[in-house]
Chain A
Amino acid sequence: MPPSHLAPAPVELKPATGRRWPEWMRGLLARGAPRARVVAPPEVRLGQAIEIEWGIDCPAGNLASVSVSLVGSEVAHQRISARTGISIVSHTSVFEVRELARAVGQVGVRVAYGRGSGVVPARAVPSFVARHNEIAWAILVAADFRAGTSDREVPQLRESFPLVVRGPA
């Protein structure tokens, strides 16, 4: 068993499921839709160094730029009752953004990848989840793409990969 001050071994993080599933499926199945991947420790501690690997599958080869950040957010999940059932609207306020990596894409390159690192802020709030309220931490991959010659909308990618932040060891 590793010492408690070491982060767990890096794994490929799962993207957040905040999107509605039809939208998620369309994104997954769309031809040429870019997709992001992040490999990072699933759990880190305040004040601890974090190292990540990121990748973007970009079949169109038109990646312009990408930034990868550690983001901390307050989230309030509001339950709204209606005759058709209960829907949940989540309100978010971001309190921490730490850039871990930034890169510029090369034309024609279909798979971009890289590494990044940083330090989890020492004075911040660890993750917690309750029914209505939450402190959520995630690795956010934000990418822009070059416009093509067609009239198709130029996509932007903002994919969030949740991880857990604990208090210091």
Chain B
Amino acid sequence: MSGSALKLEILLDEGRTSFEPGARLSGVAAWTAPSPPRALEVRLTWTSRSGAGRDVRIEQTLPLDAPSATERRPFAFTLPAEPYSFRGQLVSLTWSVELVAQPGDDTITVPIVVAPGAAPLELVAVR
């Protein structure tokens, strides 16, 4: 299966991409391939970045069992309470929902925000 023939899509319900911690996130994972992918899964991940490096953590994984070649499959996560999305002077942290297909690790990523007020916190240096 070539990566170019595979089409992946994530549609979040109501087009929402910003959430309160602990909220429910739901949507539909859709894919089109010449033949059924061997495996597909939806991942909820966060990434922290700074000049020192990047840390990635997969918080939750939903395997999509026995996928057909073309399909739309609903999914839902309950978002964790922490960590929050934030932008600081040195470090930032972002969340995303990913649809990953095997073989080949083809991936589509939708960035989301998980923070109180559904907006990333801005950290300002105080000294």
Contact = CB atoms under 8 A, between A and B. Distances in A.
Nearest to B81: A167
Contacts, number: 89
Given A74-B90, A126-B84, A133-B48, A95 B126 contact: yes
A125 B86 contact: yes
B65 interface: no
Interface string B60-102: 0000000000000000000001111010111101000000000
Interface of B: prevailing SS? loop
Contacts of A92: 90
A133 B125 contact: no
B121 A76 contact: no
B51 interface: yes
A115 interface: no
Interface of A: prevailing SS? strand
Contact of B125 (A94, A131, A135): A94
Nearest to B50: A76
B52 A77 contact: yes
B57 to A, nearest CB: 7
- Ranked 7 nearest A-B pairs via Cβ: A132-B53, A130-B55, A76-B50, A76-B52, A78-B52, A95-B123, A133-B48
25 contacts: A74-B50, A74-B123, A75-B90, A76-B91, A91-B50, A93-B88, A93-B90, A93-B125, A95-B126, A97-B127, A123-B116, A125-B83, A125-B86, A126-B83, A128-B48, A130-B48, A130-B55, A131-B53, A131-B55, A132-B48, A132-B55, A133-B48, A133-B55, A133-B93, A167-B81
